[in-house]
């Protein structure tokens, strides 16, 4: 073997040896495998947000996750009219249904719809996802 060939072989061996022993490291710990996140990187909640106070407001938002609405209770004034934006942040199709007010919209994952509702004179009015009501996907419009 010529000196030139030996030199090239030694260089290649050195490059390969260095590549095999070099690793990149990160100071951030990897996320646990069981952790889930939304498309924005935020953690997906596992339960509804606390009741939302909407008295005096004309609009609010409810997020539909898989198996619950968040928040699942809106508290406001008697006969208050409210424009709700329902955002489906889950992976399944959902509905937002208030039978007594003829409200029934279907939301595919990643979509939103706006509906107009009226809080009751007293007590509460229930809303549901018709697809997942049996799994507890229900909420209420409640008068203070």
Greatest Cα pair distance, the chain, in angstroms, is 98
The per-residue pLDDT of the chain, averaged, comes to 82
User: In this model, does residue 112 exceed pLDDT 60?
Assistant: yes
Nearest C-alpha neighbor of 62 from the set 94, 87, 25, 80: 87
Is the Cβ–Cβ distance between 89 and 63 less than 8 Å?
A: yes
Q: What is the mean pLDDT of residues 105-122?
A: 98
Q: What is the mean pLDDT of residues 112-117?
A: 98
SS3 sequence of 41-57: CCECCCCCCCCEECCCC
In the DSSP assignment, the letter for residue 100 is G
- More confident call, 8 vs 69: 69
- More confident call, 130 vs 10: 130
In the structure, what pLDDT confidence band is assigned to residue 83 with cuts at 50, 70 and 90?
A: very high
pLDDT computed for residue 119 by the predictor: 98
Reported pTM? 0.72
Q: pLDDT digit string (tens) for 24-72?
A: 333 443 333 333 555 556 788 889 999 999 999 999 999 999 999 999 9
Cα–Cα distance between 121 and 76 in angstroms, integer?
10
Cα–Cα distance between 58 and 81 in angstroms, integer?
7
Is the Cβ–Cβ distance between 64 and 85 less than 8 Å?
A: no
Domains of the chain: 52-143 (2.60.40.420)
């Amino acid at each position: 073997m010529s000196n030139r060939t030996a030199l090239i072989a030694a260089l290649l061996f050195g490059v390969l040896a260095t590549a095999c022993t070099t690793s990149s490291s990160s100071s951030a710990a990897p996320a646990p495998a069981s952790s889930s996140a939304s498309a924005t990187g935020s953690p997906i909640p596992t339960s509804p947000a606390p009741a939302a106070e909407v008295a005096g407001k004309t609009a609010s938002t409810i997020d539909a996750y898989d198996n619950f609405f968040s928040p699942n209770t809106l508290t406001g004034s008697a006969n208050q009219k409210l424009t709700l934006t329902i955002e489906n942040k889950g992976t399944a199709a959902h509905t937002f249904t208030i039978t007594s007010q003829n409200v029934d919209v279907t939301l595919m994952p990643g979509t939103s719809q706006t509906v107009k509702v009226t809080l009751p004179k007293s007590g509460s009015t229930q809303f549901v996802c018709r697809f997942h009501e049996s799994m507890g996907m229900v909420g209420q419009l409640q008068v203070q």
